[in-house]
Chains A and B, each alone.
Chain A
Amino acid sequence: MTESLVHSVNWNIDYKVNLGRAWSRFLVSLRDDRVILGTTCGSCDKTYVPPQAYCEACYEPMDAWVEVPPTGTLEAATIAQHAFQGGPPAPYAIGAIALDGTDTLFIHLISGIDLSDQENARTLLRRGTRVRAVWSQERTGSIRDIDHFAPVG
Chain B
Amino acid sequence: MRNHAAVAGVGLTATTSPGRQTASKTELCQEAVDRALAHSGLRRAEIDAVVVGNIDGFEATSTAGRTIVPALGLAPGTSVYIVNTGGTTGGGVFNLAASLVRGGEAERVLCVGPSTFDGPVDLQAVINTALPVAMEQPLGIDGVHVGGMFAAAYQSRYGVADEVLELCAAQQREHAAKNPYAHIRKPLPPETAATPITTPLTLGMVCPVSSGATAVVVTTETIARRLDRNPVVRIAAYGSVADTHLGTGRHDFSSCEVLALLADRIYKDAGIMDPRRELDVLEIFSPYAPMQLILLEDLGMCGRGEAPHLVRDGSLHVDGDLPTNLSGGPHSTNPGVAAQLAPVAYIALQLMGQAAGGVQVAEARRGLAHSTGSAWWQFHTLAILEKTE
- Which residues does A use to contact B, with CB under 8 Å? 1, 4, 9, 11, 17, 19, 23, 27, 48-50, 56, 75-88, 92, 94, 96, 103-109, 118, 121-122, 126-127, 142-144
Contact = CB atoms under 8 A, between A and B. Distances in A.
A87 B253 contact: no
Contacts of A103: 251
Given A50-B248, A106-B248, A144 B138 contact: yes
Nearest to A92: B140
Interface residues of B, number: 44
B250 A81 contact: no
A77 B201 CA distance: 12
A100 B200 CA distance: 26
Contact of A94 (B22, B125, B141): B141
Nearest to B154: A76
Interface string B272-288: 00000000000000000
Contact of B153 (A81, A82, A127): A127
B148 A96 contact: no
B246 A85 contact: no
B189 to A, nearest CB: 18
25 contacts: A19-B133, A23-B134, A23-B135, A27-B134, A76-B149, A76-B156, A76-B254, A78-B148, A78-B149, A78-B200, A79-B198, A80-B145, A80-B197, A80-B198, A84-B125, A87-B140, A88-B139, A92-B140, A104-B248, A107-B139, A107-B246, A109-B139, A142-B134, A143-B134, A144-B139
Contacts, number: 129
Contact of B250 (A86, A92, A104, A143): A104
A48 B200 CA distance: 28
Contacts of B248: 49-50, 104-107
B138 A142 contact: yes
A94 B60 contact: no
Contacts of A104: 246, 248-251
Contacts of B254: 76
Sorted nearest first, the 10 A-B pairs with minimum C-beta distance are: A78-B148, A76-B153, A87-B140, A84-B124, A127-B156, A85-B125, A85-B122, A80-B198, A88-B140, A4-B22
Given A78-B145, A80-B148, A82-B197, A96 B250 contact: yes
Nearest to A56: B244
A61 B153 CA distance: 31
A54 to B, nearest CB: 12
Contacts of B22: 1, 4
Given A78-B149, A84-B128, A96-B253, A9 B60 contact: yes
